[in-house]
């Protein structure tokens, strides 16, 4: 891919507790070519999370102001908190010819699909619902009632799998990263993307 080509927009999402953040962090350590969009959220920071690194932490009023000014590519309210993707960062990075990976909730992914149908949508799935419950419980950040709420939401989100291009099972983090990197490589070799480049080259050659 040349510097002037538009980058690839990839969306990684799945049920809460499936390990999206863990896989995202592992990918960051392995890949130097993918850019990672930082989401905006109104939920409180968890231990060790930093503003501007893990998320942009905003108040509800600040977030709603961003909605009114169309400053978000997508946004969703999830278990009482807002989550969204800053539009300016994504557009600038894609236009610079760099790939962007969005790690977002399922609701937000469907908004992106409507706005960017040429994006690549990857659903991160748990090996089982029992495994998902264990992961949520082991966090130690939710009460029993909230765990049950998240699991019910997860069941509904699993039904949304049909709207994605790829499904990656997160049985082991490193294997999940291998599969995602393979998808990125395959998409850059996709005929429809490659043909655009070579069509331009042949047009120039004929002039």
Please give the residue that has the higher pLDDT: either 86 or 167.
167
Taking only the tens place, the pLDDT of each residue in 45-101 is 999 999 988 899 999 999 999 999 989 999 988 889 998 998 888 888 888 888 999
In a domain, 70, yes or no: yes
pTM of the full structure: 0.78
Q: Is the model's pLDDT at 140 over the cut of 70?
A: no
In a domain, 63, yes or no: yes
Residue 96: HSE in the Cβ half-sphere, 13 Å Cα cutoff: 12
CB under 8 Å to 137, separation ≥6 — which residues? 147
The pLDDT > 70 percentage for the chain reads 93
How much is the pLDDT for 52? 87
In a domain, 2, yes or no: no
The structural domain count of the chain equals 1
Q: Is the model's pLDDT at 4 over the cut of 60?
A: no
Q: Is the model's pLDDT at 33 over the cut of 90?
A: no
Output the CA–CA distances (angstroms, integers) from residue 10 to 35, 52, 165, 184, 185, in the order listed: 10, 21, 10, 8, 12
In a domain, 1, yes or no: no
Q: How confident is the model at residue 205 (pLDDT cuts 50, 70, 90)?
A: low
How much is the pLDDT for 207? 57
H or E element, residue 201:
helix 191-206
For residue 198, the enclosing domain spans: 9-206
Tokens 């429809």: give the residue.
192
In a domain, 184, yes or no: yes
CB atoms within 10 A of CB 89: 14
Query: Which CATH number is 29's domain given?
Result: 3.40.50.300
How much is the pLDDT for 30? 86
Please give the residue that has the higher pLDDT: either 196 or 185.
185
In a domain, 30, yes or no: yes
How much is the pLDDT for 31? 73
């Amino acid at each position: 891919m040349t510097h002037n080509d538009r980058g690839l927009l990839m969306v990684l999402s799945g049920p809460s507790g499936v390990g999206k953040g863990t896989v995202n962090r592992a990918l960051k350590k392995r890949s130097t070519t993918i850019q990672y969009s930082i989401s905006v959220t109104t939920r409180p920071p968890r231990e060790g999370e930093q503003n501007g690194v893990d998320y942009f932490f905003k108040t509800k009023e600040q977030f709603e102001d961003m909605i009114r000014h169309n400053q978000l590519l997508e946004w969703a309210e999830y278990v009482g908190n807002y989550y969204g993707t800053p539009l300016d960062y994504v557009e600038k990075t894609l236009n610079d010819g760099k790939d962007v990976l969005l790690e977002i909730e399922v609701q937000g992914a469907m908004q992106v699909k409507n706005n960017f149908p040429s994006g690549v949508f990857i659903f991160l799935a748990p090996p089982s619902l029992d495994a998902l419950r264990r992961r949520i419980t082991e966090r130690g950040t939710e009460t029993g009632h909230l765990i049950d709420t998240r699991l019910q939401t997860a069941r509904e989100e699993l039904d949304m799998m049909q709207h994605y291009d790829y499904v990656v099972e997160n049985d082991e983090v490193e294997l999940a990263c291998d599969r995602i990197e393979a998808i990125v490589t395959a998409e850059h070799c996709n005929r429809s993307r490659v043909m655009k480049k070579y069509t331009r080259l042949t047009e120039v050659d004929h002039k």
